[in-house]
A = this chain, B = another copy of it.
Amino acid sequence: MASADDDALIWTRPEPGTRRPKFTREQIASTALAIADAEGFAAVSMRRVAGELGAGTMTLYYYVRTKDELVALMDNALMGEVLIPEDEFPSHWYDALSAIALRTWDILTRHPWALHSLQNAPVGPNNLRHFEQALASLAGTDLDAPDKFLLINLVDDFVHGNALRSAEVREAGEPAADGSPVDAALRFGQTQIATGRFPHTQALFGDGDPREAWGRVVGPLSERDRFRVGLSALLHGAASRWKLALPDA
C-alpha cells in the first residue's frame, strides 16, 4: 500500500514512551529554543542540547531521528505562539489577516534564528493550525479555493521576507557603534557613492555622515510600522483585485 514510510515525518511517529522516558519532545524543543534565543541558532547542537538537559548526546536520537527533526520541533513550537486566541479573532477578513500577519511578524522578529531554519519543516501541526486560522479569516469572502490559497501564501511570503530583513537590520545594526559591521557597511557604501556611479543613491543619502544619512533615509517609522505599511498596501491591492470589501474604519 505504498505507506511503508508513514513514519517519514516526525509528526506521524508516536512520541516514544511505553515506559517512563526521561524526556519529552516538547521538553527537548523548548530547551533547544532557549539556547537559540540566548545564543543564536548556531549554538544549537545535539551535544549542547543534550548537555543542557543533563543527558548523553545520543539520547536525543531516541526522541528524534536527525537534527532536522529537532529543528522541525523548534519551528513547530514557535508556530504555536503565532496562533490567535479564539476570543481575539477579528470578524472582518482584513482585520483577521492583518492580526495574524502582525502576530507572526512579532514572533519571527523576536526569534530571528527561525528564519534561517524555516527552509525545512513546512507542515507541523501548528503550521496547519496557522493555516486554518488564515483560512478562517477568509471564510466570509466569496473567493474560490485557489484564490484563497494564493492570498494566504502571498501574505505569509511578505511577512517572512520582511521579518527576515528586519531582523538582519536590527541584529546587525542596533548599536551601529564604531567598527560594527553596519558601520563598516555604511562606510563602504559611502566610498562607493563617492565614485559617482550611483547618482540616485547619492541624491538620496548625500555626502555627509553615513550614520546620520541612514537615519534620515530610514525615516521616523519603526521597523514594525514599516512592515504595517507594506502589509496594508498588499492587502489593499488584494482587496481591489478581488473586489473584497474593506473594513469601515
Task: Quote the shortest CB–CB distance from A232 to chain B (angstroms).
Answer: 7
Which residues of chain B come closer than 8 Å to A2, judged between CB atoms?
178-179
List the number of copies, as a whole number: 2
Which residues of chain B come closer than 8 Å to A232, judged between CB atoms?
237, 241
**Does A217 make an interface contact (CB < 8 A)?**
yes
Binds B, one of A24-32, A47-55, A75-83, A160-168: A160-168
Rounded to whole angstroms, the CA-CA distance of A189 and B127 in the bound complex is: 10
Task: Quote the shortest CB–CB distance from A133 to chain B (angstroms).
Answer: 9
**Does A249 make an interface contact (CB < 8 A)?**
no
Chain A interface, DSSP helix/strand/loop, else mixed = helix
10 smallest beta-carbon distances between A and B, as pairs:
A161-B161, A146-B219, A233-B237, A237-B237, A157-B161, A154-B230, A135-B200, A8-B184, A236-B237, A157-B162
Chain A residues with a Cβ under 8 A of chain B: 2-6, 8-9, 11-12, 115-116, 119, 122-123, 125, 128-129, 131-132, 135-136, 139, 145-150, 153-154, 156-162, 164-165, 168, 172, 178-179, 181, 184-185, 187-189, 191-192, 197-201, 204, 216-221, 226, 229-230, 232-238, 240-241
